[in-house]
Amino acid sequence: MEERSNRNSREAIFESIRGALAASKVLDAKESELHHAAEAAAYLQPGIKHDVASLVELFKENLEAVDGHCIIVETRSDVVQALYEIINKLQGTYLKAKRIAVSDSSEIERLVNLVDVDVDTFAVAPTASEVFNFDVGITYAQAGIAETGTLVLDSSRERNRLVSLVPPVHIAILNASSIVQTLGEALATLRQAEEVSPIITLVTGPSRTADIELTLAIGVHGPQELYVIVNKNLEE
């Protein structure tokens, strides 16, 4: 019965849309503003094209402008060192950082295993009921957008959806070569995939709100600290 009522409502709405548009035809002809048809949108191109090194700098500058931390490193062992420094520092704060969750990328797990810090709990991609019990979530970012300091998290490439969201600290590792300059370029890449991933998230800085007297408060529901380790991969 619900099926039928849903079909009826759908039909009624489409009928109403088509009826209204038909009724409007005569009036539309008189509206000059409609004569300019929509140009098919193309992804907006950057004015000046930057090289990779300056994209990394631009990314860092824009991420820091929205209260994110950015550490630029050159090799895999630097990444391990950077992770060590971040976690070690956090362990001295109220955030404790002794319960660490990671995405299910095997490389992330290997990297974290190399970090020489005390860990109480460690989990790979904990479930919705478990994930609240972690202080730090570590994932990859599948791409970065330099002009806005934005991370692109594509959850079809690794299980990062909850790990990047629920723990108070999110550490993302980003390869310098996957930083694009503009939002348009990032969107174009996401669209090129044979099928758009079920869940893609753009992340620009830590969670924030200004709902109380427009006073900025960092870390309301999402992570309150966001660290991005950009790896330039210079070892080869």
Partner 1 sequence: MNHVTSETFDENAKAALADSQLRGALRNATSLFGKRRLAAAQGLTNWEDLRTQARAIKDDVLLHLDQYLENFVSQAEARGAKFHWARDGAEANAIICRLAAERNARSIVKSKSMTTEETHLNVALEAAGIQVIETDLGEYIIQLAEETPSHIIVPAIHKTKRQIAELFTQELGIPPTDDVAKLTSTARATLRDRFAAADIGISGVNFGVAETGTIVILENEGNIRLTTSLPRFHIAVMGIEKVVPRFADLDIFLKLLPRSGTGQRLTTYQSFITGTKQNAFDDGPEELHVVMLDNGRSRMLAHPVTRQSLACIRCGACLNACPVYQQIGGHAYGSVYPGPIGAVITPQLMGLEKTQQLPYASSLCGACREVCPVKIDIPRLLLHLRGEITEKSSPEVQQAKGRTMERFAFKMWRLMMLRPWAYNLSARVGRLFQGLVVKDGKIGRVKSFVGPLAAWTSGRDLRPLDQKSFRDKWASDQGKS
Q: Which of 12, 53, 114, 234 binds partner 1 (CB under 8 A)?
A: 12
30-40 burial, b if ≥16 CB within 10 A, otherwise e?
eeeeeeeeeee
Does residue 212 touch partner 1 according to CB under 8 A? yes
- Residue 38 tokens, joined: 């929509």
Does residue 148 touch partner 1 according to CB under 8 A? yes
Does residue 28 touch partner 1 according to CB under 8 A? yes
Does residue 48 touch partner 1 according to CB under 8 A? no
Report which of 82, 78, 42 is spatially closest to residue 188, judged by C-alpha positions.
42
Residue 224 to residue 59: CA distance in whole angstroms: 19
HSE (side-chain half, CA atoms, 13 Å) at 55: 23
Q: What's 40's DSSP letter?
A: P
Q: Which of 100, 166, 176, 230 binds partner 1 (CB under 8 A)?
A: 166
Question: With contact defined as beta carbons under 8 Å apart, do 181 and 50 qualify?
Answer: yes
Does residue 206 touch partner 1 according to CB under 8 A? yes
Q: Which of 58, 82, 141, 162 binds partner 1 (CB under 8 A)?
A: 162
Report in angstroms how near the CB of residue 170 gets to partner 1 at its nearest. Answer: 10
Nearer to partner 1, 39 or 236 (CB): 39
Does residue 41 touch partner 1 according to CB under 8 A? yes
Which helix (H) or strand (E) segment is 24 a member of?
Answer: helix 2-30
Of residues 81 through 110, those in contact with partner 1 by CB under 8 A are none
- Window of 49-57, 71-79, 172-180, 187-195 that interacts with partner 1 by CB under 8 A: 187-195
